[in-house]
Structure 1
Amino acid sequence: MNVLILGASRGIGFEFLRQYREAGDTVIATARADEGLRHIESLGAKALRLDVSDTASISGLGWQLDGEKIDVALYVAGVMSRGGATQAPARDDFDRVMRTNVWGAMQAIVQVAPLVQAAAGKFVFISSQMGRIAGVDSSYSWLYRASKAALNMTVASAQPDYPQATFVALSPGWVRTDMGGAGATLSVEESVSAMRKTIQAITPAQRGAFLGHDGRRFEGW
């Protein structure tokens, strides 16, 4: 199986890389910096330099992948912003979060989705349950919440243009990463293992859906 991971230098992205390589899959993975590229190559994957928030960088992704057919593509790149609705986010923070979490995904879809469609594959976008509108009870990290809600809409609205591919937004759960913190309920290994099982079980009936790491479908989101 050919797997593409956009954002694999650490955390969830790197664990996806580790587990897919351990399973014997062919992996292409991206990172922004030299250290991340070395980590990727150390696991026997093909490393591509990519900054999803940089126009020049992401505009070159398509030609770097020319001729590939991708069975599973993962958009893992994302950044966090904390703070609630008692204070408006700074413009630079807004631009940073929305550019990485939403604009980067939109750019990736245009370039990667045709390669996924050619393989009748799956394009998975790592979202967050914090992006669910139904049941929200806090403004904590409201900019991050808004970006993930926008990502979910990006996935659902792009799906009809690529009918031979299956797009889903996928929540990893609350994971012990730099973003999730030490008090989170899931280890990176547990989260990614569960998500890989969910990805494997995804069917065309779930096109455009928002799923939990354990495969449950979020309704009314």
Structure 2
Amino acid sequence: MGELSIRSVLVTGANRGIGLGFVRQFLQMPKPPEWVFAACRDPKGQRAQELQNLASRHPNLVITQLDVNDPTSIKAAAARVEEQLGGSGLNLLINNAAILKMTTLDSETLEDMIQVYTTNTAGPLLLGQAFLPLLKKAAQGSPGSALSCSKAAIVNISSIGGSIKEVYLWELAQAVSYRCSKAALNMLTKGQSLGYREHGILCVALNPGWVQTDMGGPRSQITVEESVKAMLKVLSSLSEKDTGTFLSWDEKVIPW
């Protein structure tokens, strides 16, 4: 984790679960980022209490209002982050916010599909667009031409549930809209890697594992801390050859 050296990072869905875990780990780094932007829908609400407690102890933590379902909110957040950065770029964008609906093929609805896709797939697309100028600025301000997460990167938190080849645990949870949204997010990641490579931005889809969160449920296998520490280790090792790939927290490549 010591190899990941960044000046600024923004994490969506940062008020709980994996997002909050990322924020905690960034703040605990031997050399923490100068700015950690923790984005959530209601920064002053009860569900953001842990973030508020952290912010009271860490002046480099900025809680940022952001609704990934709202293009206006996304653009406003990008403007606030730009102002806070004061002329420098954003090194790392972690698209973590996601929702899961435990639907089946028979019970899936248009409303559910639209809601899940909006959060899990369209949100990361719009965030990539909105923060692209700041990511480009970070890349331009970093020495050398090689891609890395320390330079500029978009990390889309995906799921092995989005692997079309694996169809992981279908019998346990069909979760049709979630699986489809994550498969689409993987394709988005591939597209971003092709479109943003010329700007010096690395793009990767990352499976966090089956994590002990509200979404993960009672059968989950690893803690938030274990998952996030492992993912940060993966991110610290990524280079040019890894952009556009689908990787797991345990450093394995996941088939599309």
Bucket of the pairwise TM-score, normalised by the shorter protein: over 0.9
- Structure 2 Cα separation of the partners of residues 60 and 124 of structure 1: 21
- Which residue is 1:17 aligned to? 23
**Does residue 142 of the first structure (1) align with residue 142 of the second (2)?**
no
Runs ≥4 in structure 1, deviation > 6 angstroms?
Answer: none
Q: 2:194 corresponds to which residue?
A: 160
Contact 1:37/1:49, CA 8 A, preserved across alignment: no
Which of residues 50, 62, 65 in structure 2 aligns to 1:39? 50
- Distance in structure 2 (CA, Å) of the matches to 1:210 and 1:149: 11
What SS does the corresponding residue of 2:38 show, helix, strand or coil? strand
Q: 1:51 touches 1:58 (CA, 8 Å); kept in 2?
A: yes
Amino acid at match of 2:41: R
For residues 154-212 of structure 1, the C-alpha deviation after alignment (integer angstroms, 9 at most, x for no partner) is 11112222110100010000001000112111111100110010111111111111100
1:196 aligned residue: 232
- State the superposition RMSD in angstroms: 1.6
- 1:175 equivalenced with 2:211 (yes/no): yes
Secondary structure at the aligned position of 2:216 is classed as coil
Supply the distance in 1 between the matched residues of 2:80 and 2:102 (Cα, whole angstroms): 34
Which structure has more RCO (C-alpha within 8 Å, separation ≥ 6)? 2
Cα shift at 1:90 = 2.1
C-alpha contact (below 8 Å) 1:30/1:37 kept by paired residues: no
With normalisation by structure 1, the TM-score equals 0.93
Name which of structure 1's ranges 186-195 and 19-28 shifts more when overlaid on structure 2: 19-28
**Cα pair 1:37 1:48 within 8 Å, conserved:** no
Contact 1:114 1:162 in 2 (8 A): no
Structure 2 equivalent of residue 129 of structure 1: 160
2:185 maps to 1:151: yes
- Identity value in percent: 34
- Distance in 1, matches of 2:196 and 2:71, equals 23
Q: Deviations over 1:49-72 (max 9, x none)?
A: 010012321232321222341222
Q: TM-score, normalised by structure 2?
A: 0.81
> Could you tell me how far apart the structure 1 residues matched to 2:167 and 2:253 are?
17
Which 5+ residue runs of structure 2 have no aligned equivalent?
1-5, 140-151
Cα distance, 1:218 vs. partner?
Answer: 1.8
User: Does 1:108 find its partner at 2:127?
Assistant: yes
Number of residue pairs the alignment of both structures matches? 219
- Tell me by how many angstroms 1:9 deviates: 0.6
Q: How far does the alpha carbon of each residue in 1:73-112 deviate from its partner, in whole angstroms, 9 at most, with x for none?
A: 201000001122133x222212210100011111001011
Cα contact 1:155–1:168 (8 A) shared by 2: yes
1:73 alignment partner AA: L
Unpaired segments ≥5 residues, structure 1: none
Is 1:98 aligned with 2:117?
Answer: yes
User: Who is 1:30 aligned against?
Assistant: 39
Aligned equivalent of 2:91, options 71, 84, 96: 71
